[in-house]
Amino acid sequence: MSIAGSSRPASGAEHLISHQLDRSAPGRALHGHQVGVASIMTEYLHSGENGEWSAIRDALAALDAPTTAAELGLDDAELIAALTSAHEIRDRYTILQGGINEAAAIEVATATGVIDG
């Protein structure tokens, strides 16, 4: 970030999701925990069902870090709402550019086990 002169290099879609959760469900979970769970889903969006998202989930689980909405103290609807609106927080090019609709958000969150679906 020092080289770039801004937080852009460290503020991808997973951080936007976390910031949206901070707005809609303040104080439920730590920023880093929210980013971790969001990283599972954004990696799925980047690489699909055969990508490295499960390695991220497994690494977080090995550290006893949250890997689900419930472990963040969120219900499924709160997570889906944050995922579908996170692109509105900042004008940054991320995998969420232009938004993700509710059906796609549910598919991603369910496929990764972040919500039960």
CA-CA distance, 77 to 2, in Å (whole number)?
Answer: 37
Q: In what helix (H) or strand (E) does residue 62 lie, and over which residues does it extend? A: helix 53-62
Question: 3.40.640.10, 1.20.1090.10, 3.90.1170.50, 3.40.50.300: which CATH number matches 30-111?
Answer: 1.20.1090.10
Query: Where residue 10 falls among pLDDT bands split at 50, 70, 90?
Result: low
pLDDT of 45 reads 94
Per-residue pLDDT of 40-77, as tens digits, reads 999 999 999 999 999 999 999 999 999 999 999 999 99
Residue 62 Cα distances to 12, 21, 58, 59, angstroms: 24, 24, 6, 5
CA-CA distance, 55 to 108, in Å (whole number)?
Answer: 16
Global pTM exceeds 0.85: yes
Q: Is 102 in contact with 110 (CB distance < 8 Å)?
A: no
